[in-house]
Amino acid sequence: MEALRALGADVRLVANRDPAVGRRIAAKYASLALSAGRAAFAARFGARHVDIVEAHIAYPTGLVARPAAALVGAPLVLFAHGADVRDIPRRSRRHARLARSTYASAALIVANSDFLAGEIRARFPVASGRVRVLTPGIELDRFAHDPMAPRDGVLFVGRLIPEKGAGVLIRAMALVGGAEGPLTIIGDGPERTRLAALADDLDVDLDLRGELGRADVARAMTRAAVLVVPSVYPEPLGLVALEAMASGAIVVASATGGLVETVLDGQTGLTVTPGDPDALAGAIERAATLATDPHAGASMRAAGRAMAERHDVRRAAADSLAWYGTLRR
């Protein structure tokens, strides 16, 4: 939103602001629908022109945004992030039917990676001609760093759920044997207690920090030698990997989903087979060596930074506005 506004766009956000409501699905979308309805009525009867209504996550948020777009007479844009394509529509026949209708109603569907765009086209053929690929963008300047500053340790940033593979990472660190420094995990979730116990059982030096603010996460990335994205499911994109590249850490990631579009093995980072602690341990050791290599390591960091720059939120905002200009009624 800040990047769009910096380019002159007038942006109004309709979102749930109460974390307690956000944890209850029915209440969450009822609240969102009420807020969207109020905003749409205010625009329609307050003579405020609306060019675009954009929904994140595409489904089911699109169910709320669709009538709002119709009320204000604006095209509907759906921004898909992953679960809204691969998971939620498959929960029931009703979800599948509503998702198909929602995707079919959009003037434009934005996927955050080529991988996810392919999933949309395969699952919702009726919408395939209106799918475009655009990263949601990272705040590049937030990850500015001193290239000469010392770095240490291995970092994981993400929600603590089985799909993110933090347990695989802990097992890999046990194989490494502590030679590459401590393992820091930033994030929270249902796996937290199990992961702490696993690290204790395997004698892994683990600093489990919980959820942190954006500034603290960026600071941790600029101090880490290696950042690992050990996902065991197809990540739609993997913004954490891009943020790590921007921060100068050497990235090790699972070769799955959209991650392979940005973490190019041997160029912008290292990739491994998902769910394999032995392979991951070897990659972490190679990455730690690269982190101290003034030639190969510097080359990988430069390539990673260049990749991150292609995903700067300011570029994403400019591309968004260019696309929106072709949709105005």
Q: Which residues pair with 183 in a beta bridge?
A: 154, 206
Domain count, the chain: 2
Residues near 72 by beta carbon (within 8 Å), at least 6 away in sequence:
40, 43, 44, 50, 53
- The string of DSSP codes covering 157-215 is ES--SGGG-HHHHHHHHHHHTTTT--EEEE--STTHHHHHHHHHHTT--EEEEE---HH
Q: Which helix (H) or strand (E) holds 53?
A: strand 53-55
Distance CA 283, CA 20 (A): 40
pLDDT, tens only, 219-254: 999 999 999 999 999 999 999 999 999 999 999 999
Distance CA 195, CA 191 (A): 6
Distance CA 113, CA 257 (A): 9
pLDDT, tens only, 13-49: 998 887 776 667 888 888 899 999 999 999 998 878 8
Q: Are residues 66 and 164 located together in one domain of the fold?
A: no
Domain containing residue 223: CATH number: 3.40.50.2000
Show the domain range for 117: 2-137+312-325
Q: How many CB atoms lie within 10 A of CB 40?
A: 21
For tokens 């072709």, name the residue.
326
pLDDT, tens only, 43-62: 998 878 899 999 999 999 99
Q: Are residues 105 and 223 located together in one domain of the fold?
A: no
Torsion of CA 264, 184, 162, 214, to 10 degrees: -80
- Which whole-number Å values give the CA distances from 225 to 2, 144, 326, in the listed order? 31, 15, 44
Q: Are residues 66 and 190 located together in one domain of the fold?
A: no
Q: Are residues 79 and 120 located together in one domain of the fold?
A: yes
Residue 152 backbone zone (phi > 0: left; psi -120 to 50: alpha; other: beta): beta
Question: Token pair of 73, please?
Answer: 């007479």
* Burial category of 100 from C-beta neighbours within 10 Å (exposed 0-12, middle 13-18, buried 19 and up): middle
Sign (positive/negative) of CA torsion 133, 78, 305, 266? Answer: negative
Q: Are residues 145 and 67 located together in one domain of the fold?
A: no
Question: Token pair of 298, please?
Answer: 């510097």
Q: Are residues 144 and 225 located together in one domain of the fold?
A: yes
Give pTM, 2 decimals.
0.92
pLDDT of amino acid 17? 80
pLDDT of amino acid 177? 82
pLDDT of amino acid 212? 96
Q: Are residues 96 and 166 located together in one domain of the fold?
A: no
- Which whole-number Å values give the CA distances from 81 to 104, 203, 257, in the listed order? 17, 36, 12
pLDDT of amino acid 87? 94
Q: Are residues 208 and 302 located together in one domain of the fold?
A: yes
Q: Are residues 77 and 207 located together in one domain of the fold?
A: no
Distance CA 24, CA 73 (A): 31
Q: Are residues 73 and 145 located together in one domain of the fold?
A: no
Distance CA 316, CA 310 (A): 9
Q: Is the pLDDT of residue 329 over 60?
A: no
pLDDT, tens only, 99-116: 999 999 999 999 999 999
Band of pLDDT at residue 328, cut at 50, 70 and 90:
low
Q: Are residues 185 and 316 located together in one domain of the fold?
A: no
Residues near 12 by beta carbon (within 8 Å), at least 6 away in sequence:
39
- Which of helix, strand or coil describes residue 131? strand
Q: Are residues 80 and 102 located together in one domain of the fold?
A: yes
Distance CA 175, CA 204 (A): 9
CB 296 within 8 A of CB 105: no
Question: Token pair of 213, please?
Answer: 């603010």
